[in-house]
Amino acid sequence: MALVELGRFDRQEAFIVQGYLGDSDIMSFVFDAGTSIADGSYLLIPVRVMVDDEDHARAREILESVPDF
Containing structural domain, residue 41: 3-65
Rounded CA-CA distance 62/60 in Å is 5
Q: Is the pLDDT of residue 69 over 70?
A: no
CA atoms of 3 and 26, how far apart (whole Å): 12
pLDDT digits (tens, 9 = 90+) for 8-66: 998 889 999 999 999 999 999 999 887 756 556 666 788 999 999 999 999 999 999 98
Distance CA(65)–CA(54), nearest Å, equals: 19
Domain of residue 34, CATH code: 3.30.70.790
What's residue 5's pLDDT?
A: 97
> CB of 56 within 8 A of CB of 15?
no
pTM listed for this prediction: 0.84
- Secondary-structure percent of the chain, ordered helix, strand, coil, rounded to 5: 40, 25, 35
* Total domains, the chain: 1
In this predicted structure, what is the pLDDT of residue 46? 86
